[in-house]
Chain A
């Protein structure tokens, strides 16, 4: 599904942020991506999501070499990936419901087809009473859950989450982890970038550990 071969990345003429990163992500797998702050977790996620290009090495996403795909091809691949950003990236002028429905609109689905699905998912993540609220009135945890709902509404084959439980209380964090596990059981590969050891300890999943730009599988 995902293959990194000797991937290196540097910004401009600076030092390499990532060095010789090599790993595979198999369909249906569950990984934690961890490491100290500034180790390059977010950068690695951006490479996985094709919003950055490696300065060396090869990245294959769903069998496609990302260095060779067109913009349209990249958009197609992104529809198969759900991503949760640390800063949520919700659109302030859209309601929670509209934010979560966005990937389905982009896929060309009609509102009648997904109205119930979006509402059900929002209820499931505990935002049933915040459906018509705008992001500016949501708490950090509510924004986090809305962002996660947006990432998973399209039933992606791969879910990338950057600190998905960073802004929620332990009860909600547990609930969100169960959502990720449930998605994983349904066939979605999951990579969660986190340095929350309590969260990682709840699940027996392999850990991709980034340290000083290099990746190690534990």
Chain B
């Protein structure tokens, strides 16, 4: 019965009038405005909601970027293990590199063994230490990057034990610790993002509740007349909610488009703010390319939808609540 009523409500809802509410006031049919747009909210409310939407899009986009980047990291490092050779107390490290590489290449489940030269190892430290000839004098550990077959992974524990037994000063890092830390970082970022989104939603609701009350107070005479001509709560709330829906969509779009522009310009802005090669590298490591893909922009579009729905539903509940207090 409730489902039938629900479907009937959807069928009989004045969608056309609702959609006209999305248009700016000057483009709306005059006969559609029992409650005039100008009496609902000024530009200040639109700006506030646009800012909320902008913040929500920025947060959602940033969390999405970090998540995508972290996922790429995890996928990347889960496909590799790293063998580290202690450079101290090793007379002929190049020979040892070759022996260890040959040993690894024979193991099942290993697809590629790539010994890194001393220069390669030093380059890994350049983003933090800078380019310096002094790096060559440092006892930098030598590394062997090993790609593993993820569909038929090797027995890491056995390989690790065999390396320890056969080669002194050789250790195996299966990146598990890094994977765990990345996951922790991603979860923290997601939780932080959710908290920010929650705060933005709460602030938006508070602003809309206040604006709804104010709109109802300034339109009290209209509400009374609507009551007198037999309008029920649904009709009256619809007259208000479509204005708030329009406001939510317009402000949401402004916020989302602005956030999209920020994401597009982020690399340029970082450069203009004086970020050198190190900053760019760090940013790249943190958030990948720093650009949203289609799904990221879809997320921003969803923020518009959520903001608009929030405005509409909050105003509806606010109107009905105030109407009940009139009774």
Give the B-binding residues of A (Cβ under 8 A): 49, 51, 71-72, 75-76, 78-81, 83, 85, 89-91, 93-94, 98, 102-103, 105-108, 111, 150, 154
Contacts and interface: CB of A to CB of B under 8 A. Distances in A.
Contacts of A81: 230
Given A72-B233, A154-B229, 16 more contacts: A51-B227, A71-B233, A72-B232, A75-B231, A75-B233, A76-B232, A79-B229, A79-B230, A89-B224, A89-B225, A89-B228, A90-B225, A98-B31, A102-B229, A106-B226, A106-B230
B217 to A, nearest CB: 16
A98 B231 CA distance: 15
A105 B34 contact: yes
A106 B31 CA distance: 13
Interface string B1-32: 00000000000100000000000000000110
A124 B230 CA distance: 24
B36 interface: yes
Name B's interface SS: helix
Interface of B: 12, 30-31, 33-34, 36, 221-222, 224-233, 235, 323-324, 327
A91 B230 contact: no
Contact of A78 (B12, B30, B221, B229): B229
A211 B231 CA distance: 34
B228 A91 contact: no
Nearest to A78: B230
Nearest to A71: B327
12 contacts: A51-B227, A71-B327, A79-B230, A80-B230, A83-B228, A89-B225, A98-B30, A98-B31, A103-B230, A105-B34, A106-B230, A106-B231
Contacts of B33: 93
A154 B31 CA distance: 18
Nearest to A75: B232
A76 B36 contact: no
A76 B228 contact: no
Nearest to B39: A93
Given A71-B323, A71-B327, A106-B235, A76 B230 contact: yes
Which 3 pairs across A and B sit closest by C-beta, in order of nearness? A79-B230, A75-B232, A78-B230
A91 B232 contact: no
A127 to B, nearest CB: 18
A137 to B, nearest CB: 17
Contacts of B36: 93
A189 B31 CA distance: 31
Contact of B324 (A71, A85, A102): A71
Contacts of B228: 49, 51, 78, 83, 85, 89
